[in-house]
Chain A
Amino acid sequence: MQGEEHTVLATDLPQTSGERKQPVIAVQGVSKTYPLGRRSTVEAVRGISLSVAEGEFVMITGRSGSGKTTLLNLMAGLTHPTSGRILVDGEDLWGLSDRQRSAYRNQRVGFIFQFPSLIASLTAIENVLLPTMFAPRNRRLDGGPARQRAEELLGVVGLSDKLAARPRQLSAGQQKRAVIARALMNEPSLLLADEPTADLDEQTEQEIVAFLCQVQQTRNLTIVMVTHAGELLRVATRAMEMSEGTLRERIDS
Chain B
Amino acid sequence: MSFGALVLRNIGAAGFRSAVILACVALVAGFALFTALVTEGSDQSLSKAKQRLGADILVVPKGSESRVQTALLSGRPTTAWMPKENLGKIAQISGVQRASAQLFLASLSNASCCAVSEMFMLVFDPATDFTLQPWLEHELGGPLKLGEVVGGTHVFVPEGDDFIMLYGYFLTLKATLEATGTGLDQTMFMAMDTARDMARISLSRAEKPLEIPENSITAVLVKTADGERHAVARRIQQDLPGVSVLERPDLFQEFGQRINVLTKGFFAVLAVSWAFATLTVGLVFSISANERRREIGVMRALGSPRHFALRSLLAEAALLAGLGAALGLVLTYCGVLLFHDLLASALDIYFLLPSLADLGILLGQILALSTASVAISTSLPAFRMSRTESVSLMRT
Q: Could you list which residues of chain A lie within 8 angstroms of chain B, going by C-beta atoms?
A: 70, 73, 76, 78-80, 98-99, 102-103, 105-107, 111, 113, 115, 117, 119-122, 126, 129-135, 182, 186
Please provide the chain B residues from 1 to 52 with a CB less than 8 Å away from any CB of chain A in the complex.
Answer: 1-3, 6, 9-10, 12-13
CB-CB under 8 A from B302, the residues of chain A are 105-106, 111, 130-131, 134, 182
Q: With A78-B390, A80-B389, A129-B1 given, is the CB distance from A113 to B298 under 8 Å?
A: yes
Q: Are B303 and A73 touching (Cβ within 8 A)?
A: no
**Contact between chains at B390 and A113 (CB < 8 Å):** no
Closest to B298 in A: A117
Q: Is the CB of B390 within 8 A of A79?
A: yes
Contact yes or no, B303 A78, CB < 8 A: no
CA A132 to CA B308, docked complex, whole Å: 14
For chain B residues 253-307, which have a beta carbon within 8 Å of chain A? 294-295, 297-306
Q: Interface centre among A80, A130, A135, by most B CB within 10 Å?
A: A130
B93: Cβ under 8 A from any A Cβ? no
Question: Does any Cβ of A come within 8 Å of B115's Cβ?
Answer: no
Bound Cα distance A119, B10 (Å): 10
Report Cα–Cα, A79/B300, bound state, in Å.
11
Distance (whole angstroms) from the CB of A220 to the closest CB of chain B: 22
Give every chain B residue within 8 A of A122 (Cβ-Cβ).
1, 6, 9
A73 touches B1 (CB 8 A): no
- A98-B306, A113-B301, A132-B1 are known contacts; what are 11 more A-B pairs with Cβ within 8 Å? A76-B301, A78-B301, A79-B389, A106-B302, A106-B303, A106-B304, A111-B301, A119-B298, A121-B12, A134-B303, A135-B303
Closest to B301 in A: A111
Of the residues B3, B13, B294, B306, contact of A133 by C-beta under 8 Å: B3
Nearest CB on A from B42, distance (A) = 47
Given A78-B391, A79-B391, A130-B1, A121 and B10 touching (CB < 8 A)? yes
* A105–B394 touching, CB < 8 Å: no
Q: Which residues of A contact B304 (CB under 8 A)?
A: 102, 106, 133-134
With both chains docked as a complex, state the minimum distance between the C-beta of A81 and any C-beta of chain B, in angstroms. Answer: 12
Chain B residues with a Cβ closer than 8 Å to the other chain, count: 25
B311 to chain A, nearest CB (A): 12
Q: List 29 A-B contacts (CB under 8 A).
A: A73-B390, A73-B391, A76-B301, A78-B301, A78-B391, A78-B394, A79-B389, A79-B390, A79-B391, A102-B300, A105-B300, A105-B302, A105-B303, A106-B302, A106-B303, A106-B304, A107-B303, A113-B394, A115-B294, A117-B294, A119-B299, A126-B9, A130-B1, A130-B299, A130-B302, A131-B303, A133-B3, A134-B304, A186-B303
A78 vs B389: C-alpha distance when bound (angstroms): 7
Q: How far is the CA of A133 from the CA of B299 in the complex (A)?
A: 10
Residues of B near A120 (CB, < 8 A) are 13, 295
Chain B residues at the A interface, C-beta cutoff of 8 Å = 1-3, 6, 9-10, 12-13, 294-295, 297-306, 308, 389-391, 394
Whether B298 and A102, one on each chain, are in contact in the complex, defined by CB atoms closer than 8 angstroms, is no
Find A134's partner among B295, B297, B299, B391 (CB 8 Å cutoff): B299
Expressed in whole angstroms, the minimum distance between the Cβ of A187 and any Cβ of chain B is 13
CA of A107 to CA of B303 in the docked complex: distance in angstroms?
8
* Given A115-B394, A130-B299, also A98-B6 (CB < 8 A): no
Contact partners of A73 in chain B: CB under 8 A: 390-391
Inter-chain CA distance A120–B227, complex, in Å, is 75
A165 to chain B, nearest CB (A): 15
What A residues does B298 contact at CB under 8 A? 113, 117, 119
CB of A133 within 8 A of CB of B391, answer no
Closest CB in chain B relative to A149 CB, distance in Å: 13
Given contacts A73-B391, A121-B10, A121-B13, are A99 and B305 in contact (CB under 8 A)?
A: yes
A119: nearest chain-B partner, CB-CB: B295
CB distance from A96 to the nearest CB of B (A): 12
Q: How far is the CA of A70 from the CA of B391 in the complex (A)?
A: 9
With A78-B389, A78-B391, A119-B298 already in contact, the answer to whether A103 and B10 are too (CB < 8 A) is no
User: Which of chain A's residues have a CB closer than 8 A to the CB of B308?
Assistant: 134
Minimal beta-carbon separation of B307 from chain A (angstroms): 8
Task: State the Cβ distance, B316 to closest chain A Cβ, in Å.
Answer: 12
List of B residues within 8 angstroms of A103 by Cβ: 303
With known contacts A78-B300, A113-B394, A119-B295, A98–B305 Cβ distance under 8 A: yes
> Taking the nearest CB of chain A, how far is it from the CB of B171, in angstroms?
69
How close is A134's CB to chain B, nearest CB, in angstroms?
4
Q: Which residue of A lies closest to B308 (CB)?
A: A134
Closest to A107 in B: B303
Interfacial chain B residues near A182, Cβ < 8 Å: 302
